[in-house]
Amino acid sequence: MNVKGIVFDFDGTLATLNVDFPRMREEVCACIKAYGIPEELVTGRYILEMVEAGVQYLIKQDSERHEAFRREAYGVIKKIELSAAFEAGPLEGVPEMLWQLRERGLKTAVVTRNCFKAVELTFPQIKRLVDTVLARDHVPAVKPDPHHLLAALSFLEVQPKEALMVGDHPMDISMGRNVGATTVGVLTGSGRKDELSIAQADYIIDSASYLTTVLDIL
């Protein structure tokens, strides 16, 4: 395989962010309730998708409050992300690995559901080590929507068949497979080895810092 580009997830893959998701969900649910959005409409969704479902509900109700709801809900999310970012940092060996990829002439990108400010606070040198970071602030639809990954590949001018998608969560693997990229699961985040295997990751490694070992066999 002729790898030309590598796209990374952020939290749990390149850095430890330790966002308090239970608290985030609780506060977003309180916001949803305050705006009269039916609970059953958001049950079983990821947090960002809960917010967008609420926005669409308010729009369909001809409510002028949808923008206020969106601002309030995303304000809650960003507050909790930034709180976590002040106590976070890159995973061991990751900055060195990213520098090695740059020396090999490989193009690199990050796709994340986090806000860009949280990424910057967590990993200040990230912009010098990758070609682009596409946070949720930068795209109309976030992962697992494949358009998030496709936007990164388009920026890099790399075809999916020439790319690796590296992440710690099954959604990263599914997204990569959906666009035709080779997928690499890492065990430094929330995804267990069996979950990444079920998602059909092409490779599973202990940490993204060992990614060059995968490149050496491709």
Strands (DSSP E) found in 37-123: 89-90, 107-111
Q: At what angle do helices 66-85 and 47-60 cross, to 10 degrees?
A: 170
Which of 51, 85, 119 terminates a domain? The answer is: 85
Same domain for 115 and 152, yes or no, is yes
Q: List, in order, residues 6 or more apart from 176 with CB less than 8 Å away.
A: 7, 149, 164, 165, 167, 182, 183
Virtual CA dihedral for 90, 93, 96, 102, nearest 10 degrees?
-80
Angle, CA of 51, 198 and 173, to the nearest 5°: 55
Total domains, the chain: 2
103 shares a domain with 162:
yes
Domain end call among 30, 62, 85: 85
Domain that holds residue 170: 5-17+89-215
- Residue 64: the pLDDT is 85
CATH number of the domain enclosing 155: 3.40.50.1000
| Rounded average pLDDT per 10-residue block, the chain, 218 residues | 96 94 97 96 94 96 90 98 95 97 98 97 96 97 96 98 98 98 97 97 98 92
Q: What global pTM score does this model have?
A: 0.93
Give the pLDDT of residue 132. Answer: 98
The pLDDT assigned to 63 comes to: 76
